[in-house]
Structure 1
Amino acid sequence: MAEHATALLLPFGSYRLGVHGRGSDIDALVVGPAYVDRHHDFFDVLGCVLAETEAVTELQLVSGAYVPVIKMRFRGVQVDLLYASVCLDLDLRGRSVLCGLDMAPVRSLNGVRVADEILRLVPDAGAFRTKLRCVKHWAKARGIYSNAMGFVGGVGWAILVARVCQLYPNAAPSMLVPRFFRIFSQWKWPNPVMLREIEHDDDGGEMPLGLPVWDPRRNPRDGSHLMPVITPAYPCMNSSYNISRATLRTMTAEFEAAHKVCQEIAVAGAWDALFRPFNFFKAYKSYLRVDVKVAGGEEDLREWKGWVESRLRQLVVRVEMATAGMLLCHPHPHAYADDDDRRRVSFFVRLSKPAPSPQQPQQPPQFDLRLTTQEFKDEVYTYAFWRPGMELNVSHTRRKDLPPYVLEQIISTDRLKRKRSDDDSGNPESSPTVKRAAAAAGRIGSSSESET
């Protein structure tokens, strides 16, 4: 059967970069011949086949996404499947493979092309992988690993790590990690992070294709990006275009806190302090609670939840604009599910006020967010595939009033973390890496967590 196959299946993301671990999602690109139609053959025909496959669960066909994708669980493993129709004899690394394509297949192909280019541009792939595992583990522990929620995603973190590897080509991973946090705690955003010069059609290189390339001098919209992290493969794009002022502020604070911890680590202590999880519900007292509900089953909830999650960063932007920055937001990147009601999940956004300054010693005034939240709901309800029974509610809640299903999960998670700490068995993907880095760096010290 493999001899007669007319398509290629190429992994990208963490698998292609070599930093996947137990429980990692699989991102894969199907490259097929030009006569295969993405909408009919991939989404309609293949979608029907997958729907009837016993090993496939949680199937979602998202043909209208920024990057069209089939999402599913295959034998329990989360898989995101993309498609692009090109001549199978073409080299994916060259520009010619993009000739005649619209932006949807270009974005799909660039998942593979960007990963390959990152590995080509780093001086030591082994050191890059070790450091990227550490940084990803830190970002997830601190709750800032989510492109959909307005933080940096997997590609962005890989580019940030790769840039530091370029700056220190001979450094060991145990030295690269502290330098990573030092550099990005002091980075002057919106200066872009790039692994190479941006390719343009008029630079005298390969054939001009007329594809849009990130360039704030030519495109005013690109100039509004707050934290540009530029992909190295043509057409170069900003992988972190979702970043808002709120999430940039949160990430900057986390970079600064991690840099401080690394300085203390250099004196005497243990690496564990760097990877201590951020307790979102302990750090803050006031939240916006976003309840996502459906009248149907789990498939409807997955679809509606995914759409609301993709728009949630707009709620953060709206709140901070409506309050002129006097009310600060921090979105939690994960949803909380109610085990007693499988038709509902909840997202939470932290609300806080800036610390008083000498110029403004008084506390900021109270705010009425009803109009702001209603405008957000109206925007969400424009979903093209909305159906009766898909509901959204946004309300203010305090920590003491969190729903029982959230409190239960917080308590169970804290117990699990304590048990893992007692057993000295951290994250299965990252703990061996952390231990190797610690051994290389020598004895390292502990520090208390900085609240953001």
Structure 2
Amino acid sequence: MGIPGLSNQNNGQQRLGITEPISLAGPTEDDVIKTRELEKYLQGVGLYESQEEAVGREEVLGRLDQIVKIWVKNISRAKGFNEQLVHEANAKIFTFGSYRLGVHGPGADIDTLCVGPRHASRDEDFFGELQKMLSEMQEVTELHPVPDAHVPVMKFKFNGVSVDLLYARLALWVIPDDLDISQESILQNVDEQTVLSLNGCRVTDQVLRLVPNIQTFRTTLRCMRFWAKRRGVYSNVAGFLGGINLALLVARICQLYPNALPNMLVSRFFRVYTQWRWPNPVMLCAIEEGSLGLSVWDPRRNPKDRYHLMPIITPAYPCMNSTYNVTSSTLRVMSDEFRRGSEICEAMEASKADWDTLFEPYPFFESYKNYLQIDITAENADDLRQWKGWVESRLRQLTLKIERHTYGMLQCHPHPGEFSDNSRPFHHCYFMGLQRKQGVPVNEGEQFDIRLTVEEFKHSVNAYTLWKPGMNIHVSHVKRRNIPNYIFPGGVRPTFPSKVTAENKQSSKSRVPGHGQAEKPQGGKTVVVGADDVRKRKRSEDIMDNNPRNSKSPVSLAPPSREVNEDISPISASSSCSMKFDESEVNSIGGQKSEKPCLNSPGEIPSGDSGTNGSVTNNQQVNPVLAAADTSNSKEEEKLAIEKIMSGPYDAHQAFPEEPEELEDDTQYKNQDKDSGGNMKNNMESLLSKPAVAEEPVISKEITCSTHLFSNEILEELEPAELSAPLLSGPPAPLPMKKPLIRLNFTSLGKAADKSA
């Protein structure tokens, strides 16, 4: 049996992937230079761990392997096995995820899998005896077992190193030391939880087998992970891209350009996925049916698979879609980011941009006028950790419900990180940008009322089976200028001018100005923040609005569909308010160019792979034959090649215009939703919007809302009043209301202009 996705070319060389490569061109001298610059950049921003930390991780893994071997012998003896069987009893530790791929950074978790024999049960032995052993060890801290998760996991720190430990119970009496978990036979006679637990290791190993050059793949993937975090699109649970999703996307580009260096692969990553026609799936190899009858991704036979908007298929049996969480909102955001990356890479080829431009943090808190703020609290740290995990797994449902109940007219952009107010104990909050769908004619008096939508979301969240007193959730509407200060570094709101002249844009060599600063809140997640000062912004906008807008920077910060101008109308407490702004205007936030990072010596990357190691540029020589073989490929030829690639077995697959009421739950919380009757979830219409076009009409927006004053901050609540309201209708009847609401009222441009005058 060969490796799936591996075939022979006419010249006898092996080809990786399900299609021919787009280009066999090798690196030019310029590619080698720019790849070396990229490697130094990644080292300079601290993406490589130190030698001491690498050694510490290896020691932890070795110690953990010893512990599980002692554990399995103890339980074998306790179950009455004779000494011969106790002596032969064995368990084994495997790694997967970013550590196994060799792209982990300082402080990253180690994803591990314990493989045990058939007589070592999950509930009684793994979450019983092994958990007890770990809890009694001085090296182990923050032990947090999650046995009821869809994929049961034990989380803890071992000598300060974070570890996620899964368990796979095989149908073997003895686990051999040379066990190969990539074989399909390993899945025989095991339960679903074991199949899911084994999946991470099997997928990771298969990815490394299906890329032409492991070290080139690693450098490119490390780059794309950094880009995704800086641009706010790194979070599987929020509906964006997680580590395995990015690994599969990068691996496919490596297959399509097998002789390219990371510099070219980064550029082609954006070029290919900008042109990709979703929901055509990305696959590293053909989907194998297998002999065990396990369900694999197939939209022709599985109705649930037909709703997936951005399928990225895992290469190991049973093949699954790794991006089932993606919604129309998050796909729109990611499509915009792919487009932006492609434009910047083209500017870099013309020496009009640099790596700083590509990795510019996304100014989330400068990009929208209105946000939803979701606050959660609990009684203690353990309750908050459980409550946080559950709420995070449900947040994408709020996005789905808002778009469904407003027929796709109100779009959401979830922020992938969380924030904490240190003045409030056991508190986290999340943000979601709101904007009206671009390019759609505005109907007179059109209004969105999402009170019932928010109430329905809160109802589903509060259906948590492990809910405890003190677990609360609060959803409110907050305007950009009223974003709480604690989300900014040091609790201080930075100030940036909202616009720069076209001349300043040109003089910056098309480099995207600095729009925000990176902050690392609790939980270690990198987030992007921006800021505004109302008085300075007003003065700046009054001046700049009189300037002609007849020049455009070759590299745009972000598509216009996600940036709006700040409204500066005052809001008085406990009174209704109206706000108008012109959505055709795009903020261009100025900033100082950051200095290039210092070039530190490269960190060591642990590797257990039989692939190329060390610096790419030290091992990869320029091959003039390969370099000249395909340099005539134009962008048009590449476009045709990409079209051909997408003409595969699933070319006819198109996602249904309606999503299922519930996408697949987060793997750790799939079974923890109480039965709430389902009467609030029937007959919901959905209209999945596509990415907005570049040219969009000028739209005036008016938002009517009621406000209350809380602790010197103006928050406009979304909690529904005790009355029935249409989901999308004209202005509601003047009925008395006990709670404030948010209504989005869209009027014609002419009428808005008259009012503003």
TM-score, with length taken from structure 2: 0.54
For 1:290, what is the secondary structure of its paired residue? strand
Q: Report whether the alignment pairs 1:127 with 2:216.
A: yes
For 1:100, what is the secondary structure of its paired residue? coil
In structure 2, C-alpha distance between the alignment counterparts of 1:410 and 1:218, rounded to whole Å = 54
Within 5 Å, which residues of 2 pair with 1:10-409? 10-86=94-170, 87=172, 88-89=175-176, 90-201=179-290, 208-268=291-351, 269-295=353-379, 297-357=380-440, 360-361=441-442, 365-407=446-488, 408=490
Long gaps (5+) in structure 2: 1-62, 71-89, 495-515, 520-527, 529-590, 606-614, 623-693, 695-757
In structure 1, C-alpha distance between the alignment counterparts of 2:492 and 2:284, rounded to whole Å = 39
Report if aligned partners of 1:22, 1:428 keep a CA contact under 8 Å in 2.
Answer: no
In structure 2, C-alpha distance between the alignment counterparts of 1:410 and 1:329, rounded to whole Å = 26
One-letter identity of the residue aligned with 1:414: Q
In structure 2, C-alpha distance between the alignment counterparts of 1:363 and 1:352, rounded to whole Å = 18
Task: Work out which of the residue numbers 591, 597, 615 in structure 2 matches 1:424.
Answer: 597
In structure 1, C-alpha distance between the alignment counterparts of 2:599 and 2:141, rounded to whole Å = 29
In structure 2, C-alpha distance between the alignment counterparts of 1:91 and 1:415, rounded to whole Å = 42
How many angstroms does 1:74 deviate by? 2.9
CA RMSD of aligned residues (A): 2.8
Counterpart for residue 445 of structure 1: none
Report if aligned partners of 2:141, 2:158 keep a CA contact under 8 Å in 1.
Answer: yes
How many angstroms does 1:213 deviate by? 0.7
Report if aligned partners of 1:356, 1:362 keep a CA contact under 8 Å in 2.
Answer: no
For 1:160, what is the secondary structure of its paired residue? helix
Change (3 A) 1:410 1:287: farther
Change (3 A) 1:344 1:426: farther
Deviation by residue 1:312-371 (Cα, 9 ceiling, x = unmatched): 1111111111111111101011110111223111011111112344xx156883322221
In structure 2, C-alpha distance between the alignment counterparts of 1:164 and 1:262, rounded to whole Å = 15
Change (3 A) 1:170 1:219: same
Change (3 A) 1:107 1:351: same
In structure 2, C-alpha distance between the alignment counterparts of 1:128 and 1:174, rounded to whole Å = 11
Deviation by residue 1:157-198 (Cα, 9 ceiling, x = unmatched): 100000010011011111111000000011011100000000
Long gaps (5+) in structure 1: 202-207, 442-449
Report if aligned partners of 1:26, 1:79 keep a CA contact under 8 Å in 2.
Answer: yes
In structure 2, C-alpha distance between the alignment counterparts of 1:281 and 1:243, rounded to whole Å = 22
One-letter identity of the residue aligned with 1:146: S
In structure 1, C-alpha distance between the alignment counterparts of 2:229 and 2:602, rounded to whole Å = 12
Report if aligned partners of 1:284, 1:352 keep a CA contact under 8 Å in 2.
Answer: yes
In structure 1, C-alpha distance between the alignment counterparts of 2:480 and 2:493, rounded to whole Å = 14
Report if aligned partners of 2:361, 2:518 keep a CA contact under 8 Å in 1.
Answer: no
In structure 1, C-alpha distance between the alignment counterparts of 2:333 and 2:225, rounded to whole Å = 16
How many angstroms does 1:425 deviate by? 4.5
One-letter identity of the residue aligned with 2:431: F
Change (3 A) 1:46 1:415: closer
How many angstroms does 1:287 deviate by? 0.8
In structure 2, C-alpha distance between the alignment counterparts of 1:21 and 1:364, rounded to whole Å = 52
Further displaced range: 134-143 or 79-88: 79-88
In structure 2, C-alpha distance between the alignment counterparts of 1:286 and 1:436, rounded to whole Å = 45
How many angstroms does 1:436 deviate by? 8.7
Counterpart for residue 659 of structure 2: none
For 2:425, what is the secondary structure of its paired residue? strand
In structure 1, C-alpha distance between the alignment counterparts of 2:459 and 2:128, rounded to whole Å = 30
In structure 2, C-alpha distance between the alignment counterparts of 1:104 and 1:69, rounded to whole Å = 10
Counterpart for residue 24 of structure 2: none
Deviation by residue 1:184-230 (Cα, 9 ceiling, x = unmatched): 011011100000000003xxxxxx11111111111111111111100
In structure 2, C-alpha distance between the alignment counterparts of 1:198 and 1:405, rounded to whole Å = 48
How many angstroms does 1:93 deviate by? 1.1
Q: Which has the higher helix share?
A: 1
Report if aligned partners of 1:21, 1:429 keep a CA contact under 8 Å in 2.
Answer: no
For 2:319, what is the secondary structure of its paired residue? coil
In structure 1, C-alpha distance between the alignment counterparts of 2:600 and 2:301, rounded to whole Å = 44
For 1:291, what is the secondary structure of its paired residue? strand
Report if aligned partners of 1:146, 1:333 keep a CA contact under 8 Å in 2.
Answer: yes
For 2:313, what is the secondary structure of its paired residue? coil
For 1:43, what is the secondary structure of its paired residue? helix
In structure 1, C-alpha distance between the alignment counterparts of 2:424 and 2:415, rounded to whole Å = 21
Report if aligned partners of 1:22, 1:429 keep a CA contact under 8 Å in 2.
Answer: no
Report if aligned partners of 1:356, 1:363 keep a CA contact under 8 Å in 2.
Answer: no
Change (3 A) 1:344 1:246: same
Further displaced range: 218-227 or 53-62: 53-62
Deviation by residue 1:113-143 (Cα, 9 ceiling, x = unmatched): 1111000010111110110011110001111
How many angstroms does 1:411 deviate by? 4.8
How many angstroms does 1:415 deviate by? 8.0
Change (3 A) 1:421 1:292: same
Report if aligned partners of 1:57, 1:72 keep a CA contact under 8 Å in 2.
Answer: yes
Answer 1 or 2: higher relative contact order, Cα 8 Å, separation at least 6: 2
Report if aligned partners of 2:361, 2:517 keep a CA contact under 8 Å in 1.
Answer: no
In structure 2, C-alpha distance between the alignment counterparts of 1:427 and 1:365, rounded to whole Å = 57
One-letter identity of the residue aligned with 2:259: N
Deviation by residue 1:264-310 (Cα, 9 ceiling, x = unmatched): 11101311101111111111221111111012x21111111111011
Change (3 A) 1:429 1:114: farther
Change (3 A) 1:193 1:351: same
Change (3 A) 1:67 1:273: same
How many angstroms does 1:85 deviate by? 1.1
